[in-house]
Structure 1
Amino acid sequence: MDVLIHAVVGLHIVGIGALLGGFMTQMKAMGKGEARMVPAMLHGALTMLVTGVALVGLHQAQDDTLNSLKLGIKLALLVVILGLVYVKRDDEKVPAPVFGAVGALTMVNIFIAVMWV
């Protein structure tokens, strides 16, 4: 079971890499007011959602103790990120505050995952 959990964690990290990488590629355009939500951002956020839910299920199957507050906050942040990316995915230009919010919420989600034990 540990091998499966580690594989799903790896896929979760791939998802965060796609989301954050897509954001980083558009940062220069954000400064010009021409940023857009690239498909990698949507796919990364969806990958994070699916693998995150799978990880919770796998840990519950092992009777591991889970921090429900931490998981709830991370899920809420991801739902907001996913909502913003999904709604703005077809726009040619996304306002800088909206685009910046996606990047900031992504970073907050990463720091919660890493620093909240």
Structure 2
Amino acid sequence: MDVLINLFVCLHIVGIAALLGGFFFQMGALRSGTARMLPGMLHGALTMLATGIVLVGLNQADDQPVNNVKIGIKLALLVVILGLVYVKRDEEKVPSALLGTVGALTTVNIFIAVLWT
């Protein structure tokens, strides 16, 4: 079971990297006002959602403690991120504040995952 959990943790990190990497890639375009939501950002957020749900299920099946409040907050943040990225995915330009919000919420989600014990 540990191997399976670790595999999904790795996939979860890949999703985070895709979402946050897309944000960092677009930071250069913020100055010129041509920043947009990349398809990889949506795929990364969806990967985070799917692997996160699987991880909660696997940890519960393995009788490991799961902090439901922490998971609920992380899920709420991810739903907001997904909503923002999904709604603006087809637009040629997005406001810099919106892209910054996606980056900030993703970073907060990472900090919650790592620091909340």
Q: Bin the TM-score by the shorter chain.
A: over 0.9
**Aligned residue number for residue 97 of structure 1:** 97
Task: Give the superposition deviation at 1:16.
Answer: 0.2
Aligned partner of residue 10 in structure 2, secondary structure: helix
Q: Which residue of 2 aligns with 1:112?
A: 112
Q: Which runs of 4+ in 1 moved over 3 A?
A: none
TM-score (norm 2): 0.98
How many equivalent pairs are there? Answer: 117
**Alpha-carbon displacement from aligned partner over 1:38-77 (angstroms, at most 9, x marks no partner):** 0110000000000000000000101211111110000000
Task: State the AA in 2 paired with 1:3.
Answer: V
| Residue matched to 2:39 | 39
5+ long unaligned stretches in structure 2: none
- 2:19 aligns with 19
CA distance in 1, matches of 2:63, 2:41: 33
**Residue 31 of structure 1, CA deviation:** 2.2
The percentage of aligned residue pairs carrying the same residue is 71
Give the aligned CA root-mean-square deviation in angstroms.
0.6
Amino acid at match of 1:51: T
Shift of 1:34: 1.2
Q: Which runs of 5+ in 1 are unaligned?
A: none
Give the TM-score taking structure 1 as reference length.
0.98
Map 1:15-94 to 2 at 5 A: 15-94=15-94
- Give the aligned residue type for 1:35: A
| CA deviation map 1:78-106 (0-9, x unaligned) | 00000000000000000111111000000
